[in-house]
């Protein structure tokens, strides 16, 4: 049996598509536009199965929409700045630029082998000055618009390497290379004011109705709006006051202490005369500062000796602690603690012997005997021990307390967001230089527009620790643009999320001199369908939504939301293999026979573990290149699409890829060497077609063809790619069973083959082109319109109903949908199973429920 020659076929069609410019996007005002985008990759070296899945999904959408006559933009580029390039430079002595360019070349070639319908003329790499010059200008515009500021913030400092470490470079609190315990240091850094948009970014989530609910929820939680009050506590024997943020002003009567963050100004002030406190603060600094670290760390505090006066009970002076669980950058960096109603405060109170006074009593519990033991009570109830608040429920008490505070000048209603401003400074080389000059006389001076871009120098030395830009002999020394005196460039570069926050807009006119030419951007944006991993559900998407708003404020764009539709694909998984020595083994090393598995070379037994996300650490990866070599792109694509719905995880199996390979071959043989006559292309319906009712199998296949067109169209619209594949398999089966040699059958077969190949186009594009040509069509499938079903053929003219004898199902019969009651009864009684059950007896009664069931009573 000859096999589908995928190598030649795939190369041939890839070449023809490219040569004919089949996928060049051209804005056409007469057409509806469709912008489909997959998250662009970091050029890490080689593509992995996650890429294959992501880009296949996007390609199906792009090809489908193009066939439907839309003007499609489907671009690809490279998120090319980042830490791995720099690590490679340090470890393998290769320049990050060279490493990145080589990786891009390899991965571009791999993507091209997959037959993805990209408009490659729009390819961009974010490490090119022609790209990042625009974001330098954007940054300066943001600065002018008040959306950028600089302040001191903490970084991870490696005391051995004398370098700042990225969070990923800190492993269990130690530097990734030196192994030395990481210290915290304060550095002046640049921030973007994403918090200015917190409310808007939250509210607009409601409108993103083509985003997964889960992603909207994650963003909502990340923004984290909470409403409560600010409360001012006077400090005993001081002109200062302590400002706290609380969501529970109703519990003020139950306050038993106040606590401030280690970075709170009052903490530093108190520590100045208190060596023990200073030591405590220093110790706290050593431990992690992420929210997760703080959640899990033991809660500790140190009494400053200060006394805070509760506005509702000024006679009771509360101790003020410096505590490791209070975050400086949330609310005001200070709290009051109410141990009876907050678990964390309760633990703290027990540890430091502070009073626990309940002020909220659950409904139905006696206030006199209500007390708190091991667990704080945070539920609803009525206020007790709370003066003027007594008897109110929690919600009413919050409002009343806030009102009272405002009246006293001791507080006000307030809203807090968890969202922090976006720190964009990185003390790294391989990134976009921040276009700022520091002048001893003039201070911070933006690089003038006519001096942009600030190009990243390539002659750098990685043998010295630290940021190569900071110790570059010439690059950083410049004349101040304002006074002409000696000055220094900013040596920090942007967080690489900066580049990915606007690349989708740049694709609208990737070569333009202007960053974002109005007409192009207006035509193409927003992205109609964005596709990528759930790991980007928060930061990348939020930053892009913010950036779009900031760009709008600065006159670059006219819209707020960059991505109208979002799909997050599941992971590609594989079972794992482990030998008794505890080592993991790659699927390629395993020989499987039935339920057992051994190591191919040695025969050593292998424990087969459950399917997990493909990862280098467990070696359960399958290299896409090997699959492309062995089976070709269409088989790989087909398997990716047919196994499970896109949002779900997909299990890669040998059996699955083999099954896809068989179907590809079956289609190829079926169409290129048909066993039965096939009408010529565009043959009109044969005369007397209507009389063909006699040959119902021909009609049935013809009807199924149209139903398949309708159903697959609907499936693709809804990303039900696995369902679409199943329907194509069914149609192929039906066509395989159509054996008539008459003109009608030949014509129905032609309709069926044409439809099958057309519908397969977005899924298996090379094979489909090849078969389309084999079917005698002159025009490329990529330029052919999507088929439209005949609506008259979509209504069922036949229904299958069950027949029961004395309430027991005995069989089914197919009858015309418009059959009369008599016809239905006759068909039911003639059913062989029914006749057998009756066994010659005459039915007493036959009940017909039209279109549903027949019950025969004997
Ligand atoms: C008194 C109180 C009593 C509180 C009570 C809770 C329960 P969300 O909902 O996340 O906004 N808080 C405020 N600022 C903080 C900071 N910088 N670091 C750590 N904790 C802080 O949480 C708000 C609550 O978290 C606030 O309400 C405050 O404790 C605490 F029965 O104030 B509450
Ligand atoms: Zn100057």
Q: Is 618 annotated as a binding residue?
A: no
pLDDT at 693: 53
Instruction: Give the tens place of pLDDT for each residue, 402-430.
Output: 999 999 999 999 999 999 999 999 989 99
Among 138, 100, 80, 188, smallest CA distance to 557 is for 138
Q: Which two tokens stand for residue 214?
A: 């889960």
Pairing of strands 33-38, 170-171: unpaired
For a ligand 1 pocket test, name from 230, 233, 248 the mutation site with the most ligand atoms within 8 angstroms of its C-beta.
248
* Tokens 């101040």 sit on residue: 480
How much is the pTM? Answer: 0.88
Confidence check: pLDDT of 288 > 70: no
Distance (Å) from CA 88 to ligand 1 centroid:
44
Ligand nearest to the CA of 478: 2
Interatomic CA distance for residues 847 and 842, integer angstroms:
14
As annotated, the residues of the chain forming the CATH 3.10.20.590 domain(s) are: 798-857
- Of 280-289, 328-337, 613-622, 780-789, the least confident: 280-289
Does the pLDDT of residue 293 top 70, yes or no?
no
Strands (DSSP E) found in 436-579: 436-439, 443-446, 477-479, 486-489, 493-494, 529-533, 566-569, 572-579
pLDDT for position 626: 94
Over residues 815-833, the mean pLDDT reads 85
Which atom of ligand 1 is nearest the CA belonging to 226?
11
Q: What sections of 34-164 are H helices per DSSP? A: 49-67, 83-92, 96-113, 129-144
Residue range(s) of every CATH 3.40.50.620 domain in the chain: 1-23+33-124+506-571+622-673
Q: Which residue among 228, 327, 331 has the greatest number of ligand 1 atoms within 8 angstroms of its CB, and so is best to mutate?
A: 331
CA of 129 to the centre of ligand 2 (A): 26
Distances (CA, A) of 96 to 25, 92, 429: 32, 10, 9
- Distance between Cα 335 and ligand 1 center (Å): 7
The pLDDT score that the predictor gives to residue 142 is 98
User: Per-residue pLDDT averaged across 18-40, rounded?
Assistant: 96
User: 3-class SS at 181?
Assistant: strand
pLDDT of residue 291: 62
| Token representation of residue 37 | 């985008």
Distance CA 528, CA 211 (A): 11
Ligand 1 atom nearest to CA at 337: 1
Ligand 1 atom nearest the C-alpha of 378 is 31
Distance CA 362, CA 377 (A): 8
Q: Whose CA is nearest to atom 14 of ligand 1?
A: 331
Listed residue (39, 80, 101) closest to 431, CA to CA: 80
Nearest CA to ligand 1 atom 8: 226
CA 346/CA 400 separation, integer angstroms: 25
The CB-side HSE value for 379 (13 A sphere, CA atoms) comes to: 9
User: Which regions of the chain carry the CATH code 1.10.730.10?
Assistant: 675-793
Q: Is the peptide bond before 277 cis (omega within 30 degrees of 0)?
A: no
Candidates 245, 260, 336: which one to mutate for ligand 1, based on the most atoms within 8 Å of Cβ? 245
CA of 503 to the centre of ligand 2 (A): 34
**pLDDT per residue over 610-648, tens digit each?**
999 998 889 989 999 999 999 999 999 999 999 899 999
Question: What ligand has the least distance to the C-alpha of 443?
Answer: 2
- Predicted confidence band of residue 760 (pLDDT cuts 50, 70, 90): very high
Closest-CA residue, ligand 1 atom 22, reads 247
Structure tokens belonging to residue 91:
């470890």
Nearest to 725 by CA among 824, 834, 645, 842: 645
Q: If we measure between CA atoms, which residue out of 409, 405, 406, 379 comes closest to residue 394?
A: 379
Give 180's DSSP letter. P
Contact 31, 656 (CB under 8 A): no
Q: Which range has the worst mean pLDDT, 44-58, 492-506, 829-843?
A: 829-843
Nearest atom within ligand 1 for CA of residue 328: 17
The CA 403 to ligand 1 mean position distance, Å, reads 19
* pLDDT confidence of residue 292: 65
pLDDT at 840: 83
- Residue labelled with tokens 């029961």: 804
Rounded distance between C-alpha atoms, residue 339 and residue 362, angstroms: 16
Domain with CATH 3.90.740.10 in the chain: 225-417
Q: At residue 787, what are phi and psi to the nearest 5 degrees? A: -70, 150
Give the C-alpha separation, 72 to 195, whole Å. Answer: 35
Contacts for 401 with CB less than 8 Å, ≥ 6 apart: 229, 249, 250, 252, 312, 389
What average pLDDT does this structure show over 554-560? 97
State the pLDDT at residue 809. Answer: 87
Of the listed ligands, the closest to the CA of 248 is: 1
Ligand 2 centroid, distance to 478 Cα (angstroms): 10
Better-predicted residue by pLDDT, 124 or 328? 124
pLDDT beyond 60 at 289: no
- pLDDT tens digits for range 464-484: 888 899 999 999 999 999 999
Please identify, by atom number, the ligand 1 atom nearest to the C-alpha of residue 341.
31
Task: Give exposure, 370-381, as e/b (b: 16+ Cβ within 10 Å).
Answer: bebeeebbeeeb
- pLDDT over 70 for what percent of the chain? 98
Transcribe 307-370 into DSSP letters. EEE-TT-TTSEEEEEEETT--TTSTTSEEEE-GGG-HHHHHHHHHHT------EE-TTS-TTT-
Give pLDDT, residue 234.
96
When the pLDDT of each residue in the chain is averaged and rounded to a whole number, the result is 93
* Contact in structure between 652 and 730 (CB atoms under 8 Å): no
pLDDT band of 796, cuts 50, 70, 90: confident
For the chain, how are helix, strand and coil distributed in percent, rounded to 5? 40, 20, 40
Confidence of residue 795 (pLDDT cuts 50, 70, 90): confident
- The span from the CA of 732 to the CA of 625, in Å, is 29
Ligand 1, atom 19, lies closest to the CA of 326
Query: What's the CA gap between 157 and 493, in Å, rounded?
Result: 17
Choice between 808 and 787, residue whose per-residue pLDDT is larger? 787
How far apart, in whole angstroms, are the C-alpha atoms of residue 504 and residue 499? 10
Topology given in CATH for the domain delimited by 225-417: Isoleucyl-tRNA Synthetase; domain 2 (3.90.740)
For the segment(s) 1-23+33-124+506-571+622-673, the CATH number from 3.40.50.620, 3.10.105.10, 3.40.630.10, 3.40.630.30 is 3.40.50.620
How many angstroms does the Cα of residue 379 sit away from the middle of ligand 1? Answer: 15
State the sign of the Cα–Cα–Cα–Cα dihedral 507, 509, 510, 513.
negative
What residue's CA is closest to ligand 1, atom 27? 246
For ligand 1, atom 7, which residue shows the shortest CA distance? 342
The domain defined by 798-857 folds into: Ubiquitin-like (UB roll) (3.10.20)
Q: What is the pLDDT of residues 174-233, one digit of tens each?
A: 888 788 888 888 899 999 999 999 999 999 999 999 999 999 999 999 999 999 999 999
User: What does the pLDDT look like over 142-171, one tens digit per residue?
Assistant: 999 999 999 998 888 888 877 788 777 788
* Residue 113 vs residues 66, 122, 230, 572, 730: alpha-carbon distances, Å: 21, 18, 60, 20, 29
CA gap 379, 325 in Å, rounded: 23
Q: Report CA(102)–ligand 1 centroid distance (Å).
A: 51
Q: Where are the alpha helices (DSSP H) in 189-317?
A: 198-203, 213-223, 265-272, 275-286, 291-296
pLDDT beyond 80 at 57: yes
The long-range contacts involving 218-221, CB below 8 angstroms and separated by at least 24 positions, are 218/537, 218/538, 219/537, 219/538, 219/541, 219/542, 221/418
Centroid of ligand 1 to alpha carbon of 372 (angstroms): 19
Q: How many CB atoms lie within 10 A of CB 784?
A: 17
**What is the SS3 assignment for 179?**
coil
User: Is-contact 207 121, C-beta < 8 A?
Assistant: no
For 351, other C-beta atoms within 10 Å of its C-beta total 12
Minimum CA distance residue for ligand 1 atom 25: 246
Say how many Å lie between the CA of residue 534 and the centre of ligand 1.
Answer: 30
pLDDT value at 833 more than 90: no
d(C-alpha 154, C-alpha 610), whole Å: 41
Which ligand sits nearest to residue 445's alpha carbon? 2
> Quick one: which of 417, 418, 421 has its CA closest to 192?
421
Shortest-distance Cα residue to atom 26 of ligand 1: 246
The predicted pLDDT at position 290 comes to 58
For the stretch 722-734, pLDDT in tens is: 999 999 999 999 9
Hey, what CATH topology would domain 675-793 get?
Isoleucyl-tRNA Synthetase; Domain 1 (1.10.730)
Write out residues with Cβ below 6 Å of ligand 1.
Answer: 226, 245-248, 251, 325-327, 330-331, 333, 335-336, 338, 341-342, 416
DSSP single-letter state for residue 195: G
Q: What is the DSSP letter of 38?
A: E
CA distance 298 to 292: 12
Q: Whose CA is nearest to atom 12 of ligand 1?
A: 335
Query: Candidates 340, 342, 376, 419: which one to mutate for ligand 1, based on the most atoms within 8 Å of Cβ?
Result: 342
């Amino acid at each position: 049996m000859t096999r589908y020659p995928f190598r030649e076929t795939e190369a041939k069609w890839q070449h023809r598509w490219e040569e004919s410019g089949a996928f060049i996007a051209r804005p056409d005002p007469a057409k509806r536009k469709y912008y489909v985008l997959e998250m662009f990759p970091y050029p890490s070296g080689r593509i992995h199965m996650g890429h294959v899945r992501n880009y296949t999904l996007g390609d199906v959408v792009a090809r489908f929409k193009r066939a439907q006559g839309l003007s499609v933009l489907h671009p690809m580029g490279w998120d090319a700045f980042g830490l791995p390039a720099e690590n490679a430079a340090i470890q393998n002595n290769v320049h990050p630029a060279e490493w990145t360019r080589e990786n891009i070349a390899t991965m571009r070639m791999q993507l091209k082998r997959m037959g993805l319908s990209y408009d490659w003329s729009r390819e961009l790499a974010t490490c090119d000055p022609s790209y990042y010059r625009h974001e330098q200008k954007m940054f300066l515009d943001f600065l002018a618009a008040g959306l950028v500021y600089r302040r001191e913030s903490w970084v991870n400092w490696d005391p051995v390497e004398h370098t700042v470490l990225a969070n990923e470079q800190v492993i269990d609190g130690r530097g990734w290379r030196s192994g030395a315990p990481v210290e915290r240091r304060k550095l002046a850094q640049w921030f973007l004011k994403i918090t200015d948009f917190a409310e808007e970014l939250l509210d607009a989530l409601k409108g993103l109705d083509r985003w997964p609910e889960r992603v909207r929820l994650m963003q909502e939680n990340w923004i984290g709006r909470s409403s409560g009050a600010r409360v001012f506590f006077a400090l005993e024997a001081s002109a200062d006051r302590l400002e706290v943020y609380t969501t529970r002003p109703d519990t003020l009567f139950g306050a038993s202490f106040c606590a401030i963050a280690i970075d709170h100004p009052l903490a530093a002030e108190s520590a100045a005369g208190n060596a023990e406190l200073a030591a405590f603060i220093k110790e706290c600094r050593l431990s992690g500062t992420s929210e997760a670290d703080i959640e899990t760390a033991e809660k500790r505090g140190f009494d400053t000796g200060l006394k805070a006066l509760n506005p509702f009970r000024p006679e009771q002076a509360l101790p003020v602690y410096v505590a490791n669980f209070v975050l400086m950058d949330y609310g005001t960096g200070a709290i009051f603690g109410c141990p009876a109603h907050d678990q964390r405060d309760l633990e703290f109170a027990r540890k430091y012997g502070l009073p626990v006074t309940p002020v909220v009593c659950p409904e139905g519990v006696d206030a006199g005997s209500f007390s708190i033991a091991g667990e704080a009570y945070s539920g609803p109830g009525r206020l007790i021990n709370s003066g003027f608040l007594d008897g109110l429920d929690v919600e009413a008490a919050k409002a009343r307390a806030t009102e009272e505070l405002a009246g006293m000048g001791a507080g006000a209603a307030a809203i807090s967001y968890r969202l922090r401003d976006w720190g964009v400074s990185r003390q790294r080389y391989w990134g976009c230089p921040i276009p700022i000059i520091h002048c001893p006389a003039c201070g911070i001076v933006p690089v003038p527009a006519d001096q942009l871009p600030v190009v990243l120098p390539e002659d750098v030395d990685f043998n010295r620790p630290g940021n190569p830009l900071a110790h570059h002999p010439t690059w950083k020394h410049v004349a101040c643009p304002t006074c002409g005196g000696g000055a220094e460039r900013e040596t920090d570069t942007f967080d690489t999320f900066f580049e990915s926050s606007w690349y989708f807009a740049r694709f609208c006119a990737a070569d333009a001199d202007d960053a974002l030419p109005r007409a192009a951007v207006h035509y193409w944006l927003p992205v109609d369908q964005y596709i990528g991993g759930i790991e980007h559900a928060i930061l990348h998407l939020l930053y892009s939504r913010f950036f779009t708003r900031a760009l709008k404020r600065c006159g670059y764009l006219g819209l707020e939301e960059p991505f109208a539709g979002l799909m997050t694909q599941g992971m590609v998984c594989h079972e794992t293999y482990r030998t008794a020595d505890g080592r993991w083994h790659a699927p390629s090393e395993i020989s499987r026979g039935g339920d057992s598995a051994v190591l191919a070379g040695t025969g050593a037994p292998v424990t087969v573990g459950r399917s997990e996300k493909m990862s280098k650490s467990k070696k359960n990866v399958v290299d896409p290149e090997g699959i492309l070599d062995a089976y070709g792109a269409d088989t790989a694509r087909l398997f990716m699409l047919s196994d499970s719905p896109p949002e779900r995880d997909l299990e890669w199996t040998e059996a699955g890829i083999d099954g896809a390979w068989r179907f590809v071959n079956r289609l190829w043989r079926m169409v290129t060497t048909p066993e039965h006559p096939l009408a010529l292309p565009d043959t009109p319906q044969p005369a007397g077609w209507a009389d063909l009712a006699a040959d119902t199998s021909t009609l049935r296949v013809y009807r199924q063809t149209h139903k398949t067109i309708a159903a697959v169209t609907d499936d693709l619209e809804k990303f039900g790619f696995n369902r679409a594949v199943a329907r194509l398999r069914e149609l192929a089966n039906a066509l395989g069973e159509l054996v008539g040699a008459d003109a009608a059958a030949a014509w129905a077969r032609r309709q069926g083959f044409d439809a099958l190949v057309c519908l397969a186009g977005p899924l298996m594009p090379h094979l489909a082109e090849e078969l389309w040509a084999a079917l005698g069509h002159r025009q490329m499938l990529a330029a052919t319109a999507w088929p439209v079903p005949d609506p008259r053929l979509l209504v069922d003219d036949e229904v299958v109903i069950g027949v029961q004898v004395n309430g027991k199902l005995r069989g089914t019969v197919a009858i015309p949908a418009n059959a009369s009651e008599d016809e239905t009864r006759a068909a039911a009684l003639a059913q062989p199973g029914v006749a057998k059950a009756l066994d010659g007896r005459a039915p007493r009664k036959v009940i017909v429920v039209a279109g549903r069931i027949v019950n025969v009573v004997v």
